[in-house]
C-alpha cells in the first residue's frame, strides 16, 4: 500500500498538463490521483488524505476557487493540505490569496517551482 504522505491529487482538465505532472511525480516515487473536473476532485478530497493538491482554476463542474475554499473551510482530513493553484488566470483567485497554505503559480508552472512548494510545505 502506498504511503499516505506521498500521495498527490491533480485536478486539471487539460490531459497533456495532467500527464506532465503525473510523470514528474511518479518518477520521483509519489503516488498520483488525477481528475479532470472539480466535482470529482472535491470527492477525492473527501475520500483520502493527500500531501498536496494541484488545482487548475478553470475546471468543469466546480472551479478551482470553489475547490480550495471547500478544502479550507470543511472540517475533514485535507483541511491543512497545501493547495497549489496553477493557472493563467491568477487575477481571478479573489479571497484565496488570504487562505492559509494556498500557493499561486502562473501556468505553465515549472517543475522547479512546484517542487519548491512541495518540499517546503508538504514534507
Tens of pLDDT, residue by residue over 34-73, are 999 999 999 999 999 999 999 999 999 899 989 998 888 8
pLDDT of residue 2 exceeding 60: no
Confidence of residue 8 (pLDDT cuts 50, 70, 90): very high
CATH 3.40.50.2300 fits 4-121, yes or no: yes
d(CA 16, CA 43): 22
Tallying the residues shown for the chain, one arrives at 123
pLDDT of residue 17: 95
pTM (2 decimals)? 0.91
Q: For the stretch 3-26, what's the b/e string if a residue is b when 16 or more beta carbons lie within 10 angstroms of its beta carbon?
A: eeeebbbbbbbeeebbebbbeebe
**What residue spans define the domains of the chain?**
4-121
Amino acid at each position: 500500500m502506498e504511503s499516505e504522505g506521498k500521495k498527490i491529487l491533480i485536478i486539471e482538465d487539460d490531459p497533456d498538463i495532467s500527464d506532465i505532472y503525473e510523470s514528474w511525480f511518479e518518477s520521483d516515487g509519489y503516488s498520483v490521483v488525477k481528475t479532470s473536473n472539480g466535482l470529482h476532485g472535491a470527492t477525492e478530497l473527501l475520500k483520502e488524505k493527500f500531501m498536496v493538491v494541484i488545482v487548475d482554476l478553470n475546471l468543469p463542474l466546480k472551479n478551482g476557487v470553489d475547490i480550495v475554499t471547500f478544502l479550507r473551510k470543511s472540517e475533514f482530513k485535507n483541511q491543512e493540505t497545501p493547495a497549489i493553484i496553477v493557472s493563467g488566470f491568477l487575477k481571478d483567485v479573489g479571497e484565496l490569496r488570504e487562505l492559509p497554505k494556498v500557493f499561486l503559480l502562473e501556468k505553465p508552472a515549472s517543475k522547479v517551482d512546484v517542487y519548491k512548494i512541495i518540499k517546503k510545505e508538504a514534507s
